[in-house]
Structure 1
Amino acid sequence: MTDDLSLRPGGPADVNAVLRLLDDATAWLVARGRTGQWGSEPASTDPRRTAQADAWANGDGLWLAQLGQRPVGALVVGSATDYVPPATEPELYVNLLVTDRAHAGHGIGGRLLAHAADLARERGVDLLRVDCYAGSDGALVRWYERQGFTRTEPFTVKRPGREPWPGQVLARRLG
Structure 2
Amino acid sequence: MAAGGPEDIDAVLALLDGATAWLVSLGRTGQWGTEPHSTNPRRIAQVAAWAGAGRLHLARIDGQAAGALVVGDAMPYVPPATEPELYVNLLVTSRAFAGRGVGARLLDRAREIARERGVRQLRVDCYRGDDRALVRYYESQGFTATDTFAVGEWPGQLLVERLRSG
- Aligned-partner SS, 2:78: coil
Q: How big is the shift at 1:50? A: 0.8
Can you list the C-alpha shifts for 1:61-106, whole angstroms capped at 9, x where unaligned? 1000001321110000000010111100000000000000111111
Residues 1:116 and 2:110 aligned together: yes
Measure, in 2, the Cα distance between the counterparts of 1:102 and 1:67.
10
Q: Which runs of 5+ in 1 are unaligned?
A: 1-6, 159-163
Measure, in 1, the Cα distance between the counterparts of 2:43 and 2:74.
17
Question: Following TM superposition, where does structure 1 have runs of at least 4 consecutive aligned residues deviating by more than 6 angstroms?
Answer: none
Percent identity of the aligned residues?
Answer: 65
Measure, in 1, the Cα distance between the counterparts of 2:155 and 2:42.
20
**TM-score, L = length of structure 1:** 0.92
Q: Which runs of 5+ in 2 are unaligned?
A: none
Out of 146, 169, 174, the residue aligned to residue 158 of structure 2 is: 169
The equivalent residue for 2:84 is 90
Counterparts of residues 26-175 of structure 1 (less than 5 Å): 26-158=20-152, 164-175=153-164
Measure, in 2, the Cα distance between the counterparts of 1:106 and 1:68.
13
Can you list the C-alpha shifts for 1:44-72, whole angstroms capped at 9, x where unaligned? 01111111111111112100000132111
Counterpart AA for 2:31:
Q
Measure, in 2, the Cα distance between the counterparts of 1:68 and 1:123.
30
**TM-score, L = length of structure 2:** 0.97
Measure, in 2, the Cα distance between the counterparts of 1:56 and 1:123.
18
Residues 1:22 and 2:11 aligned together: no
Q: How many residues align?
A: 164
